[in-house]
Chain A
Amino acid sequence: MNSLAITARLQAAPVGRSDPILIALWIALVSVAVIWIAPFVFIIFTALKSNAEVMTTSAFAPPTDAALENFTGAWERGNFSTTLVNSVIITVIKVPLGLLISAMAAYALARMRLRSGKLLLLFVLFGAMIPFQVMLAPLFTLVNAFGLIDTYVGIILPYLAFGVPYQVFILHGFFRTVPKELSEAALIDGASHITVFSRIFLPMSLPVLAALLILDFVATWNEFAMALVLLQDRHMWTLPLGLMSFQGQFSNDYGQLNAAIVMTVLPAVLVYLIFQRYFVSGLMSGAVKG
């Protein structure tokens, strides 16, 4: 639907300055975009079809009448009311908290003269590169040793730990570009570093923080492997775990399975569409300065 509308709009408009290569390029890009978006169309169509219709009609045939009961059915069997709430709770606590502690550390590393500052930065940067997937088992034993399996705290702490490196890295890069004069005046007036951080740097870095917030939201919202290991009780499951379990149990109920996919994916897609420019600018700031 979306792609069709875009295609229509694009065709109506004059392209470039009628450079034939640009036109060819534009057609190629639109074709690729159609392919890119086709899976979504297929998933949404399937989600709106009854099982019998799925097995008899062709893939891109629009559903005859929208089988909305797939959504209510999947909502219930997939325990979405629980998994959605868990995902929201974990994300809402983890993301801002993670940004705050990362910003604090990044400020100290960037603006305070510390003897081991360089070493600390390297130490953090190292973590950004190491896949946590290799440590799922020790992570489990560790969280278990604290008695935190199946708790919000037990999942949020590791999430924080693995979010810190990238965020510190980006924010450190940003804080270093802030002109000295801004903070020095305040420091000479006797303000503490904590004041300077919270009164000057934090407000100033709002755009970067917003970008990081969005990126971290998506990462936390989508995280699967750690949740798989640390959240065993289905009351604690997040959306990705719920979806996986749904696939395991109802793989032959194609309509509901696809409705479950749509419901799992939708929140992240909405956030993306609303805050699109932050995604790109956030990634770019990381890349350019990285």
Chain B
Amino acid sequence: MNTGQFVLGAAASLALLSGTAGAEDLTVWTLNYSSNAQVNALKASEAEFEATHPGVNLEIVMRGTDEHKTALRVAAGSDTGPDIYFMWAGLGLGGEYVKAGLSRDLTEYYEKYGWDDRVSVPSLAFVESFGAGKHGMPYRFTGEAIYYNKTLFEQAGITAEPTTYDELVAAAEKLKEAGIAPITFGGTVNWHVMRLMDVLLETKCGPDTHDVLMEMRADWSTTPCATEAFTELDMWARNYILSPFMGIDQKQSASLFFLGRAAMMLEGDWHVNPINENADIANFGLFPFPTGADRLYGFAEYLYISSKTDKADLAAEYLDMFTTTAFQDQIKGAFGALSVNKEVKLGDDALDLHKEWITIFDAADGTFVNGDQAFPLDVTTEYFRIINEVASGNMDPQAAADAMQQFIGNRA
């Protein structure tokens, strides 16, 4: 505690010193968003913050997903880096940085600004999970579900949204028979196909077993549902994914979806805006992947204040501003359906798909996160490889489960 206070004091005095030096830079590292709405929302936050903080130069650096991960990790090992950084809140990503001491304890700011009362409960799930104190400020809570092309569903004679896994497979089969590619994924970015594996694991294993598998406390090779999930993945890749898919990335896959080349896509609530910007949104519907359990497939994204910054107070002011009711109201819908601020509700003019997301969020009971957020980095890399091996028909399901377990076993 003492050292913490000392560091805090030092940081405060440093902040004072740099404050006298004139213009102050505050750097935020985040993702590059494909939707203009999201980019504009970030720009609006920049403008708003600079307007209320004369002499402060807020800078938002956006990067692609994989690049952002690398850059941040590199910054973690060096003396450079941002004052505020974006990260997914799960164990494998945000958690690793908290454990590595890159994140600053925000308890005092939570108290000062009353964030606990402002932010919705599910999005706070990871704040106290990985280190002493409170880490990160939720700035987005997202879910992932299946978007579908209504015209293509009609063409294939599908009249109702699938509510069970078997119905989903039956729908995919109907689409295939009608000559329509049922679903699209981009294989070069490993995390995209992984989403299918994640929901298949939830479907085949159920929440409890799925969780212990992801925590690496159950044996993958002897847990039958792991092999079954790989079997289903193999079946989807063989029959239902728009082919070829291993040579394209998620963006290209999305383009094909907008063009009507495939009927479904497993995407997050952030995908509503890209659909709206690139296609006729009235033609698209939405349903949760029918895993048979009620958990929402999704995750929280946090903005963390770096432990290395000497501008923690200023950074906290930005986080505070970003999550105020006034500002969240101004940008609502940009980052997805749900604001992390409890007070902010979607307006009547909101897109139908956004409203539908709210129903999905409300109906959900708990969440399960994406595999790359659950696993440590090295296991994620191997998980990606095994998924891709199965998806390209190069590894049979039991061998995949064995390979997974072997890798996990070798770590110990």
Contacts and interface: CB of A to CB of B under 8 A. Distances in A.
Direct contact of A and B (CB under 8 A): yes
Contacts of A276: none
Nearest to A253: B251
B67 interface: yes
Main SS of chain A's interface residues? helix
B111 interface: no
B14 interface: no
Contacts of B66: 248
Contacts of B252: 251-252
Contacts of A252: 251-252, 254-255
B79 interface: yes
Contacts of B71: 232
Nearest to B278: A252
A248 B67 contact: yes
Given A232-B78, A248-B67, A251-B251, 16 more contacts: A140-B74, A144-B79, A149-B80, A150-B80, A232-B74, A232-B75, A232-B81, A245-B63, A248-B65, A248-B66, A249-B34, A249-B251, A250-B251, A251-B252, A252-B251, A252-B255
Contacts of A249: 32, 34, 64, 251
Interface string B39-69: 0000000000000000000000101111100
Contacts of B65: 248
* Best-buried of A141, A251, A252 by chain B (most CB within 10 Å): A252
Interface of B: 32, 34, 61, 63-67, 71, 74-75, 77-81, 249, 251-252, 254-255, 259
Contacts of A248: 64-67
Given A144-B78, A232-B75, A251 B249 contact: yes
Nearest to A141: B77
Nearest to A151: B80
B251 A232 contact: no
Nearest to B259: A55
A147 interface: yes
B79 A147 contact: yes
A233 interface: yes
The 8 closest A-B pairs by CB, nearest first: A248-B64, A252-B251, A252-B255, A144-B78, A149-B78, A251-B251, A232-B71, A249-B32
Contacts of A144: 77-79
A118 interface: no
Contacts of A229: 74
B121 to A, nearest CB: 33
Of listed A55, A141, A149, A249, residue having the most chain B CB within 10 A: A249
Contacts of A245: 63-64, 67
A55 B74 CA distance: 38
A150 B78 CA distance: 10
Nearest to B65: A248
A284 B199 CA distance: 60
B66 to A, nearest CB: 7
Nearest to A251: B251
Nearest to A248: B64
29 contacts: A140-B74, A141-B77, A144-B77, A144-B78, A149-B74, A149-B79, A150-B80, A229-B74, A232-B71, A232-B74, A232-B75, A232-B80, A232-B81, A233-B61, A234-B63, A245-B64, A245-B67, A248-B66, A248-B67, A249-B32, A249-B34, A249-B64, A249-B251, A251-B249, A251-B252, A252-B251, A252-B252, A252-B254, A252-B255
Contacts of A250: 251
A147 B81 CA distance: 12
Nearest to A250: B251
Interface in A220-239: 229, 232-234
A150 B77 CA distance: 13
A41 B34 CA distance: 29
Nearest to B75: A232
A229 B77 CA distance: 12
A245 B71 CA distance: 12
Nearest to B248: A251
Contacts of A150: 80
Contacts of A140: 74
